[in-house]
Structure 1
Amino acid sequence: MHELTVIIQVVKSVEAFAKEEAITNIDTLVLQVGELSTLIPRYIEACYPAAVDGTMLKDTKLEIEILPGNALCKTCNSVYNLIKEDKICPKCKGLYFEILSGKEFMIKEIVAC
């Protein structure tokens, strides 16, 4: 489970940002995770309490937004969701595509109190 290592790094980054900006209390951390990312949101949620234990984020809430795994069909130029359509273009049934979104993992927002 590499999620714990990633979340520990996120916590360190957020703490460094908070220190630079003189933020002392954080209420919520909002992350965005793409459907095609190697990170699994439920594992992130499970690891979060351990990652924030003993840090300034120990009492924060975690929110995760899922970003769609969209692709562009190389045959007909339709945009579709790879997960929902099982990687097959719903318009032309093509199998050749370019990934447009869904691999992202980022800190979207740090909500201070």
Structure 2
Amino acid sequence: MHELGIMMNVVQTVENFARKNDLTQIETLVLQIGELSSVIPRYAKACYPAAVDGTMLQNTKLKMEILPGNCLCSDCRSVFNYLDNKGICPDCGSKEWDLLGGREFQIKEIIAC
């Protein structure tokens, strides 16, 4: 489970941002995680309390937004969800597509008190 290390890096990044911007308390941290990302949201959420323990984010709420793994069909140009359709275009049956999104892992928002 690599999520603990990732969440500890997120905490460090947010703390650095807070120091540079003279923030003393953060209310909410919002992360965006693509459904095709190597980060598993439920594991990241489970690791969060350990990652923030003893830091300025200790009392911070964590919110996660899951971004869909959408593809653009190379043949018919339809947009479809990769997981829902197992990588096959539901409109034309093509297995040729370009990934539009879903591998993201990013800090979307830091909400200060």
Structure 1 consecutive aligned stretches of length 4 or more whose deviation exceeds 4 Å = none
Per the TM alignment, residue 75 of structure 1 is displaced from its structure 2 partner at its CA by 1.4
* RMSD between aligned residues: 0.6
Per the TM alignment, residue 83 of structure 1 is displaced from its structure 2 partner at its CA by 1.0
The answer for the alignment partner of 1:68 in structure 2 is: 68
Inter-partner Cα distance in structure 2 for 1:62 and 1:22: 21
Inter-partner Cα distance in structure 1 for 2:51 and 2:106: 16
TM-score (norm 2): 0.98
Inter-partner Cα distance in structure 2 for 1:21 and 1:56: 14
The answer for the alignment partner of 1:19 in structure 2 is: 19
Q: Which letter does structure 2 place at the counterpart of 1:41? A: P
Unaligned runs of 5+ in 1: none
Unaligned runs of 5+ in 2: none
Superposed, 1:8-87 pairs within 5 Å as 8-87=8-87
The answer for the alignment partner of 2:100 in structure 1 is: 100
Q: Tell me, what secondary structure is at the counterpart of 2:85? A: coil
Percent of matched pairs sharing the same residue: 58
Number of positions where the alignment pairs a residue of Structure 1 with one of Structure 2:
113
